[in-house]
């Protein structure tokens, strides 16, 4: 099963919420024909220390470069030549490597694929620190 390289970018909403917008498509590796996402249920992003499930999953269809339809996996149109983009949201993850893994799941909860995805540009690495002892402010006695 072929996939385009997933695109992940940080999005800031007006209410201060930050999330990553995840987008990728699927195609037949031999013919290049675009494939559908009918049987997909969700994706899970995994770093070395965290796993989070995507939200706001939908299919986006494009027609001559313009967004045509966005849906939460309603039955697709019969034209299988229109580019289909899987789009969802991920919470901003702490960077603990150059890439994170994206696990794609089927409606029957079996894993379809695991993709290695680079962190978005500008994602800072998690700080490394060790706690200092608390200062003594009073003594009993």
For residue 73, what pLDDT is reported? 46
Q: Is 57 inside a domain boundary?
A: yes
Query: What is the C-alpha to C-alpha distance for residues 87 and 71, in angstroms, rounded to an integer?
Result: 10
Query: What is the C-alpha to C-alpha distance for residues 97 and 99, in angstroms, rounded to an integer?
Result: 5
Q: Is 84 inside a domain boundary?
A: yes
Pick from 46, 7, 11, 41: which is nearest to 24 by CA?
7
DSSP-based three-state secondary structure for 101:
strand
Residue 45: CB atoms within 10 A of its CB come to 22
Q: Is 125 inside a domain boundary?
A: no
Tell me the β-bridge partners of 90: 20
**Averaged pLDDT score across all residues of the chain:** 73
For residue 1, what pLDDT is reported? 46
Pairwise pLDDT comparison (113 vs 138), residue with the higher score: 113
Q: Is 130 inside a domain boundary?
A: no
Q: Is 140 inside a domain boundary?
A: no
pLDDT digits (tens, 9 = 90+) for 28-86: 888 878 777 667 788 898 988 888 888 887 777 665 554 544 444 444 455 556 667 77
Residues 6 or more apart whose Cβ sits within 8 Å of residue 44: 51, 52, 53, 54, 102, 103, 105
**In which domain, by residue range, is 95 found?**
2-118
| Signed CA dihedral, 25, 115, 120, 88: sign only | positive
Q: Is 95 inside a domain boundary?
A: yes
Alpha-carbon distance values, 84 to 10, 56, 125, 139 (Å): 21, 16, 32, 67
Q: Is 99 inside a domain boundary?
A: yes
Q: Is 128 inside a domain boundary?
A: no
| Signed CA dihedral, 28, 25, 118, 46: sign only | negative
CATH number at residue 19: 2.60.40
Write down the residue that tokens 């037949």 correspond to: 28
Q: Look at the chain and report how many structural domains it folds into.
A: 1
For residue 8, what pLDDT is reported? 59
């Amino acid at each position: 099963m072929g996939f385009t390289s997933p695109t992940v970018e940080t999005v800031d909403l007006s209410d201060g919420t930050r999330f990553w917008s995840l987008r990728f498509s699927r195609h037949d590796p031999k013919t290049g024909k675009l494939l559908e996402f009918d049987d997909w249920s969700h994706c899970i992003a995994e770093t070395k220390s965290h796993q989070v499930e995507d939200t706001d999953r939908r299919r986006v269809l494009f027609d001559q470069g313009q967004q045509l339809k966005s849906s939460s996996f309603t039955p697709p149109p019969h034209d299988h030549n229109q580019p289909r983009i899987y789009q969802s949201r991920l919470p901003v993850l702490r960077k603990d490597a150059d890439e994170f893994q994206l696990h794609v799941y089927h409606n029957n909860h079996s894993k379809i694929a695991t993709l290695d995805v680079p962190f978005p540009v500008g994602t800072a690495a998690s700080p490394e620190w060790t706690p200092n002892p608390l200062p003594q402010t009073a003594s009993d006695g």
